[in-house]
Copies of this chain bind each other. A is one copy, B any other.
């Protein structure tokens, strides 16, 4: 089994070798630009990992893995326009560096280029691979739309929230693993189970991200603690708190959410205090644990040598037990 870091490196090198036409420059330069911004290349590495787990040819899985990365960066290019984001990975975004029209049209071409790469699989799995890719791509768009809707909505339930993060983040992990498994000649049942593993793990990972934003050690987490609280982001923690909070504390929380002019540290401390009082961290960890367990249940049912299963368990543990 190849190490995940090695697969990530293989992807990084292959991404840098992707060549696009020189003309029209406004269409193709942004593609090379956004792909060169880096990132962990986790999604395509998972596709290669799945192929490797079933004894498949990792090199043969490279074009579909690159398809996942090109697709992911297409979503970033369009999301950055929609979110009006000035920076992506510390660099100026495409619509700011060129203009918005360039961001729209280059993104469109990236989606098509994603299909071209994804089609580089054996004829006997072409239709199924593309069906998975289509479903994944539609899911990501639905997730993005729901995420935008939630910004201006005040009564989102936990189930709706979980469905949103599933579509926006988790579906693509499940899809990448399933496609990799099929390229590795896994049978249908194992490919499905690996997809469930990825999707449920993805939900658990996103819930952990919500928890870490409030309770993470800033040195280990690498992000500003409390950023979600400051921006009123509808995370699991806030949605659960709004569901449980009562009386004066409900008024307090509403006031903090409505506040326009505030000291960020004071808001983070006050809202965290409300979360603590409502035991929100425990609820979130229980929910995260429930999805992690679903992932591990699927994993146990996959027909793979114990060594390969252990590899997947170690991968999941590494993903989920980030130090708080």
Residues of A in contact with B (beta carbons under 8 Å apart): 24, 26-27, 78, 81-82, 101-102, 104-105, 107-109, 111-113, 115-116, 119, 123, 126-127, 130-131, 134, 137-138, 141-142, 144-146, 148-149
- Measured between beta carbons, the chain B residues less than 8 angstroms from A141 are 27, 105, 108-109, 112
Q: Give the dominant DSSP class at A's interface.
A: helix
Counting every copy of the chain, the complex holds: 2
Please tell me which one of the listed residues B26, B104, B123, B138 contacts residue A78 in the complex, with CB atoms under 8 A apart.
B104
Who on chain B is nearest to A164 by CB?
B24
Whether the Cβ atoms of B27 and A142 lie closer than 8 Å is yes
The listed residue (B116, B119, B134, B144) touching A112 by CB distance below 8 A is B134
Contact A109 B138 (CB under 8 A): yes
In the complex formed, the residue of B with least CB distance to A148 is: B101
A105 touches B119 (CB 8 A): no
* Distance (whole angstroms) from the CB of A115 to the closest CB of chain B: 6
- For residue A67, give the distance in angstroms from its CB to the closest CB of chain B: 12
Across the interface, which residues of B come within 8 angstroms of A137, CB to CB? Answer: 112
- Taking a contact as CB atoms under 8 Å apart, the answer to whether B24 and A142 are in contact is yes
In the assembled complex, the Cα of A267 lies from the Cα of B52 at a distance in Å of: 68
Nearest B-chain residue to A84, judged by Cβ? B101
> Which residue of chain B lies nearest to A119 when distances are taken between CB atoms in the complex?
B130
Known: A78-B104, A142-B27. A134 touches B149 (CB 8 A): no
Considering the complex, give the chain B residue whose CB is closest to the CB of A167: B24
Closest Cβ of chain B to A134, distance in Å, is: 5
